[in-house]
Structure 1
Amino acid sequence: MRARVADADGQVRTAAADYAAALADTPGNEVVAAPAYRAALAAGDLALADRAAAALRRSATPPVDLALLPLAEAARRDDAAAADAAITDLDKGTLGILAPALRGWTAFARGSDFTRALDAASTTRDPLATRLALEQRAVLQLAAGATATGLATLRATLAAGAPGDVRIEAAMVLLGTGRRDAGRALLIGDDAVIVALRDGAGAKPTLGFGVSRLLSRVAADLTSARAGDLAIALSRTALIADPANDRARLLLANALARDGATDGALAALAAIPTDSAFARAAADARIAVLAEGGRDAEAIAAAKARVETPDAGRDDFQVYGDQLVSSRRYAEGAGYYRRVLDAGAQGNWAAWLQYGGALDEAGDWAAARPALEKAVALAPTEPLALNYLGYAMAERGGDIAAATKLLERAHALKPADLSIVDSLGWAYYLGGDEARALPLIERAARGDPANAEIGEHLGDVYWAIGRRYEARYAWRAAALTAAAIDAPRLAGKIVRGLPAR
């Protein structure tokens, strides 16, 4: 029971320790082993993971990812035979889509023909299995020394939508096998990770390297889709296969943070060395994890420390500005968004929009308006910029006709966006056209019933056309999800209604 409570609270290390004690008392108990296995992977307790896995292998319905653990352990030892045995088990479930690509790596490790294993993907008739096999074909061709052929295959995979992880994997193989010019040519851009990798040593194409990168490549897709347990299992076993895979540590931290395990996520990030190519990304992730975990003061302190370093730059100003704004310190945030602009983002409409939005929230409409107009000038067909400027102009009592035209343009560009639908309806209302306003705001409220702002707008329109009971109902509904700062205003409307217009 203590383990379950700790697990629910995101305390992965405490949960793992308590599950280990429970499993020691009842070896082979599947009811204990199943959550123990998950907690062990989250906490990195591999001894507990092995004990729990041994119990679960006797189950009639073992977890689909159970074979990942022996696969990763075999790959780390460069044991192709043991890895093949694990892949056979993996192939029995939904993760069988990984089997052809994985068998390509075990064939390479044995010095045999990896193309035959990869070709098996076509017989599965699964598009994801085929895609993963094609991506690994490119990397394996490069690993085998076929530079021209491998690069051609890589170009085909990238054209088909392969993620950047595949490009990085290929570049690391080239760098690690002495083909530095070809490897560096794949690492294009000024992202901190890319720059650091370009000057790095790369990696040897071992079985552990290949299995680890494939698992983390799939984990990246699942992490962004909030896949929970499976994302944690894939990223953790990627680390077991190759402890040098700091990209997997980032993915593990992300998955743990999304699961509420803030301390576990921070521990994963802390294990990334300061000289790693991913050190800068880890520092950014640490700030995000702290903020997501409700530890706002620590997040702001970490971001502030970054901007106070001698080499602080645009990305640091952006992160600190974001943290300040999320804490409602809008004027301070606007100052750092201004530094982002001055550090080279003058042509970036989104940077102007953030700057103007922060000024607007800080109550400085006079300075906010030209910044927002600059965003629209840079991106005249961007619905987000049009919507913000139009809505703000309408709210601030400016030219309602001009504001409405901006919002009509935004709506024409993105008619399904409920925020824009509400904004346009609200502009019609402020302009005195309740008949055009009502169907738009009703549509927005039906599509997003938990949005307090839209609910309040709906109540205001109902009141204006004499539907007083429905107005109070809409305001009461809005009050259920409104921010605390808005509660007194809504309470006043529920009691007194609106003054005559």
Structure 2
Amino acid sequence: MRQRRARWLSSLAILAGLAAQTQSGFAAQTSAPVEINSFSGAYLSARVAENDNDLDNAINYYKQALAFAPEDTQLQQSLMLSLIAQGRFEESLPYADKLKEVPDIERFSRLALAVDSFKKKDFTKAQYWLKLSLGADLDKLISGVMTGWAMQGAGQGTDAMDYVGKLEGPEWFDLFKAYHRALIADAAGKTEKADAAYAEAIGNTSAGGAAPETWMRAAQAYAIFLARKGDKDKALSVLKQAEEFGPGKIEIVALRDRISKGEKPDPLVVNPSEGSSEILLNLATALNRGGGEPFVRLYLEYALALKPDSDVVLVQLAAVAEQLKDGERAIDFYRRIPASSPLKEVSELQTGLNLADLGRNDEAIKQLKVLVEANPQDMRGYLALGGVYASKQDFRSASELFDKAVSVLKTPTKADWNIFYQRGIAYERIKEWPKAEPNFRKALELYPNQPQVLNYLGYSWVDMGTNLKEALDMIKKAAELRPSDGYIIDSLGWAYYKLGRYDDAVREMERAVQLKPEDPVLNDHLGDVYWRVGRKLEATFQWRHARDLKPEPDVLASVEQKLLKGLPPLENKTAQEAPKPKPTAPKG
């Protein structure tokens, strides 16, 4: 079977109910800074460290560069932003003060000074710092909503609501404006206005599609508001709507359980600092769609400075750290989440996954075993621990673990499909196919047309030369459902290759490499199919490219052999030359 490393760990953040962009990663490499005796040397070292996400060293080098050019505003800006991004907010303030009148950076410098004023409850000063000479729509919304919160802090609750309501901007402003008008009215004790504004916010489901985390926060806040008013039934109705909007959201489930028991939870936001933290969180999560992680991290750090124990901000910062491949920092954030938080358990799961990605498998297994034993009904623990076993290629332990998980499940539901899928993978990897296949079928029974299961089972049949028509139909269906998944498209191309349909294989393999150009296995496969259709120069190029992408040792050995000798004649057998990595585990 093909040996591509299964992406078990990267899928589990989503399975655990975190933000969709969460991925586990390796820690950023850091080293002790060295003393540099020139401006250019210090500046270039700072830029390299910053690009490597080594912010502590970047800060040290920027400080050295500033010793040579103390009035350089670009250096001051870079240093200020690095300090904020690294959570060293108080250290950033002197530089923010120096940059408060520089138009190109005031959106960050004056925001830092406003945050400091909120912390000091100097709401008049906060309003002053929030007046920007320049500003894009995003800056206008942040400064406008935070100004409303400063007004509320100064005792002007009605004026604050009106101010936020009159902010001019594009249509996407509406959800944020309604939500924060509701929060301001709620904090000011204006019950009727709060109720109306909350209802407006959660009624805007179209905007919620673009900013789902903010919509869900509004639903939580509204349900808490209703429960505090004594309207338990309506509160639960709002939470039911939220669960339909975003199934499995941990905070929603926990809040529903509390309200069902008659509890009246504290509001999400109780003061102007928390309100300002909330808008920064809201916009950071709306922006976190991949590619803008350093920018998102800045807003989250501002939010954390205003509310240092915010579990949701800490989780989001941990997720960004994972996206930036800084597992150590992600672990630090997860470990700061309060024990009372509904996110504590999932943070411990994610800590275990990050430990595994850092190569600290024994620590990861120890932590995750404790979680499984403490809560044997929670399937997330089994998935996380099974993922660590899989990363160690210990599929025997994984299969035994998933056997235990299945024994706990009394009546499996659609949500449990992945337990059976992962058990099937574990059995397949230990070459117990008669036990593997029923698990794949059970996963599809629970979740018909699940693309990853269709892909894995279909390819396995192709690889074994059995059920070929059904197998190809399954892989085609998976590709139809996930046309942008390079690994599934690769499986389709590889199935055609195995069946000797080389022209079809070329078409699909070229698509797969376009989708995942950085994957050495996919480039290796494209080389194989090019060779079979007589495009030998292009095949050699692809194999060289695959080699340069640093594949796993077995793939590298195969590629180097092909670069020396090409592929052997087919004779009367199906193509079997390339190492055959199994289809990958699901992304969520």
What TM-score, normalized to structure 2?
A: 0.73
Structure 1 match to 2:164: 118
Q: Which has the higher contact order (CA 8 A, sep 6+)?
A: 2
1:447-466 alignment to 2 at 5 Å? 447-466=515-534
Structure that is richer in helix per residue: 1
The Cα shift of 1:234 comes to 1.2
1:131-176 residue CA offsets vs partner (Å, 9 max, x unmatched) = 321222333344421254244223313464143233234445566x
Identity %: 23
Does the 8 Å CA contact 2:182/2:197 hold for their aligned counterparts? yes
The Cα shift of 1:53 comes to 1.0
1:273-327 residue CA offsets vs partner (Å, 9 max, x unmatched) = 2223432233233234444555555444432332243667322112112222234
1:249-260 alignment to 2 at 5 Å? 249-260=314-325
Does the 8 Å CA contact 1:69/1:237 hold for their aligned counterparts? yes
Structure 2 match to 1:431: 499
Selected match of 2:110 from 45, 67, 86: 67
Q: 1:113 and 1:63, CA in 2 relative to 1: closer, same or farther beyond 3 A?
A: closer
- 2:351 is the counterpart of 1:286: yes
Does the 8 Å CA contact 2:175/2:201 hold for their aligned counterparts? no
SS in 1 for 2:105: coil
Separation in 1 of the partners of 2:93 and 2:273?
A: 19
Selected match of 1:103 from 131, 147, 151: 147
- 2:83 is the counterpart of 1:40: yes
Separation in 1 of the partners of 2:484 and 2:269?
A: 49
1:11-90 alignment to 2 at 5 Å? 11-13=54-56, 16=59, 28-59=71-102, 61-62=104-105, 64-89=107-132
Structure 2 match to 1:166: 218
SS in 1 for 2:292: coil
1:448-478 residue CA offsets vs partner (Å, 9 max, x unmatched) = 4443333333333344445555444443333
Selected match of 1:155 from 202, 222, 225: 202
The Cα shift of 1:24 comes to 7.6
The Cα shift of 1:66 comes to 2.3
Separation in 1 of the partners of 2:177 and 2:546?
A: 51
- 2:425 is the counterpart of 1:357: yes
- 2:292 is the counterpart of 1:227: yes
SS in 1 for 2:204: helix
- 2:586 is the counterpart of 1:498: no
Selected match of 1:242 from 307, 311, 322: 307
SS in 2 for 1:88: coil
What TM-score, normalized to structure 1?
A: 0.85
Separation in 2 of the partners of 1:265 and 1:17?
A: 22
1:104-132 residue CA offsets vs partner (Å, 9 max, x unmatched) = 333433233334212323x32x2332332
- Equivalent position amino acid for 1:207 in 2: P
SS in 1 for 2:191: coil
SS in 1 for 2:337: coil
Structure 2 match to 1:206: 271
- 2:371 is the counterpart of 1:306: yes
Q: 1:26 and 1:96, CA in 2 relative to 1: closer, same or farther beyond 3 A?
A: same
Structure 2 match to 1:316: 381
Separation in 2 of the partners of 1:367 and 1:463?
A: 37
1:24-72 residue CA offsets vs partner (Å, 9 max, x unmatched) = 8865543442232123213332331101212222435225322221222
Q: How many residues of Structure 1 are paired with residues of Structure 2 in the alignment? A: 498
Q: 1:337 and 1:41, CA in 2 relative to 1: closer, same or farther beyond 3 A?
A: farther
Does the 8 Å CA contact 1:10/1:259 hold for their aligned counterparts? yes
**Alignment RMSD (CA, Å):** 3.5
The Cα shift of 1:236 comes to 1.5
Structure 1 match to 2:579: none
Structure 2 match to 1:271: 336
Q: 1:376 and 1:204, CA in 2 relative to 1: closer, same or farther beyond 3 A?
A: closer
Does the 8 Å CA contact 1:318/1:336 hold for their aligned counterparts? no
Separation in 2 of the partners of 1:24 and 1:240?
A: 28
The Cα shift of 1:212 comes to 1.0
Does the 8 Å CA contact 1:387/1:420 hold for their aligned counterparts? yes
**Structure 1 unpaired stretches of 5+:** none
Separation in 2 of the partners of 1:291 and 1:224?
A: 25
Selected match of 2:475 from 383, 394, 407: 407
**Structure 2 unpaired stretches of 5+:** 1-32, 35-44, 574-588
Q: 1:266 and 1:172, CA in 2 relative to 1: closer, same or farther beyond 3 A?
A: farther
Separation in 2 of the partners of 1:132 and 1:470?
A: 52
Separation in 2 of the partners of 1:22 and 1:379?
A: 58
Q: 1:202 and 1:217, CA in 2 relative to 1: closer, same or farther beyond 3 A?
A: same
Separation in 2 of the partners of 1:432 and 1:318?
A: 37
Selected match of 1:136 from 164, 180, 184: 180
